[in-house]
Each structure stands twice: as C-alpha cells, then as structure tokens.
Structure 1
C-alpha cells in the first residue's frame, strides 16, 4: 500500500471520529479544497472548515452521525475516495445522506495539496433544506446563497479566539 493511501485512510478514520485536528494534519500548508459549497485555500481555511463542521455535528447531530468511506486509492501523486455521510444538517435539523466522490493530489511529503469533492447539490439541498431545496436546489440562485452563507459562517468561525 502506498503511503499516500495511508494518508487517506488516516483522514477518513479521523473524519468518522469527528477528529478535525487529525484531518487538518493531512493537508499541506498551501492546500486547496473545492466542493459545491466551499472553495478554500490554505491549511488554516481547510482545517477551519473541518473544525466548524465537526463541531456542529458533535453539538447538534452526534446521535445520527455516520461516515462510510470506500474505494480509497492513491499513488505517488494522486488519490481518490468515495464516502457517504449520514448527519443532521445543523441549520434545519433535517437528516441528510450525502454521497461524495473525492479526488486528491499529494506533495512529495505525502500531504494533500489539492482536494476536490463532488456531490449532487440538488439531492443534498432537497434533504438538508426541504421544500426550498426541492424547488430551487437545481438553480444557481440557491447554490450561490448557500455558498455565501457557508463562507460567512466559516469567516465567523475562524475569527473566534
């Protein structure tokens, strides 16, 4: 098994335990992350996102939290994974089952430098937001609103002492 695959296994094992500090330790200082909601640059932002999301899950939904990862593969420069998260969306309290495919790039030290997650935003929004997600989840309007709110929440979280 390539050491970068061990990095992915460490990352997802930590995620299953809501251990954001260990997750953040898997990233290089100049890492980038992108998914339907966040576009982040640097370990501070990435670690902050995972800390914020893990804290919200521990506080408002630990009772239903479950993470399953599969298909973890990596070589000297790239990797991929599939993961499914079952959780309570903190804003609405609604239950979500999100299916995500991830792609990674690694530096020579075995740290993640690029992490891209892809999921069906409309499917997610129907579960997380209910009727508004059903009616508007396929539109750029709702996606833009969710992205702005997530960015504002992360900025506020990172500003805390």
Structure 2
C-alpha cells in the first residue's frame, strides 16, 4: 500500500476510536492480525476486536482519544495517541500516552504494538498500590491476568 494509504488507514482507525465506532476500528485489521501491549500482552483475531469493543464500551462518554502520525512508510506507521478515561475498576481518571507501531499489508493492519509506561498507568488507575508496586513484575502480571480475564468474560457474553 502507498504511504498515503497507510496514513489514511491509521487516521481512520483513531478517528473511529475517538468516535467510539468499533465496527470501523475493527475493519482496519486483517483477519490474522496480532496486537500487543503491556496490559493485555499478545492478542489475536477475535481477542483484538473484542478488546476494542470492551474498552470503548467501558470508557463510555468519558473516553477521549486523540492521535497524531509520527512516521509512515510503504509498510509501517508509527503513531502517538492519548486515551483519557475513568478506569472501570476504580473510576480513577487515566491519561495514558501511548506510542503505537503498525505493520500494514494489503491495506489492513497485520501487527499493532502499543508501548506505554506501565508504572505510570498503574499509578493513575490504581492509586497508591499502583504507585508503590506498578513497576514490579508482580503488579504487571496481576494487571495482565486481570485484563485477560475481563476480556475473556466479555467475549463470552
């Protein structure tokens, strides 16, 4: 795909996210896509589309998403995006700054990896326990286990 086409795909993805349009977001992914981030770990196929649906649903009207494209090639895009939302378990406000790397083939996202500071996220989402323990492997594993459990319960309904 062209550089312009790749830019438009990722702009479309994040614009749909900001508008809470998960159908458009999920249509940007290839069928065998892979997603990875510090909270969920590595997800595939229906896990990815369900994750976005769950996050948009839980964020509700309070979810605010902004983005900007940092770099584009014929097969990759690097973007920076911000999500502001109340964390569903504590209702504490999270202002997460994320860098995303995409690999694109045939006009679809085949690989999407988000990078963010897990300690900062834990501090915002969990308060004092996150501030004190968010940097530890224990807390990171607990967050991932909880996120995956929530996702799989969401997928069953």
- Please indicate, yes or no, whether the TM-score normalized by the shorter chain is above 0.5: yes
Query: Aligned-pair distance for 1:69?
Result: 0.5
TM-score (norm 1): 0.92
CA distance in 1, matches of 2:147, 2:98: 18
Corresponding residue to 1:35 among 34, 37, 40: 37
Q: Confirm or deny: 8 A CA contact 1:4 1:74 kept in the other structure.
A: yes
Q: Does 1:132 align with 2:132?
A: no
CA distance in 2, matches of 1:70, 1:143: 27
1:93-137 CA-partner distances (Å, limit 9, x unpaired): 001110000000011x21000000000010111010001101100
Match of 1:2 in 2: 4
Q: Confirm or deny: 8 A CA contact 1:30 1:41 kept in the other structure.
A: no
Corresponding residue to 2:120 among 114, 118, 123: 123
Query: Aligned-pair distance for 1:72?
Result: 4.7
Long gaps (5+) in structure 1: none
Q: Confirm or deny: 8 A CA contact 2:122 2:134 kept in the other structure.
A: yes
Match of 2:76 in 1: 78
TM-score (norm 2): 0.94
Runs of 4+ in 1 over 6 A off after TM superposition: none
After the TM superposition, which residues 1-161 of structure 1 pair with which residues of structure 2 at under 5 Å, given as runs?
Answer: 2-58=4-60, 62=61, 64-107=62-105, 109-160=106-157
Q: Confirm or deny: 8 A CA contact 2:56 2:63 kept in the other structure.
A: no
CA distance in 2, matches of 1:86, 1:157: 21
CA distance in 2, matches of 1:96, 1:57: 11
Long gaps (5+) in structure 2: none
CA distance in 2, matches of 1:8, 1:74: 10
Note the aligned Cα RMSD (angstroms).
1.2
Query: Aligned-pair distance for 1:146?
Result: 0.5
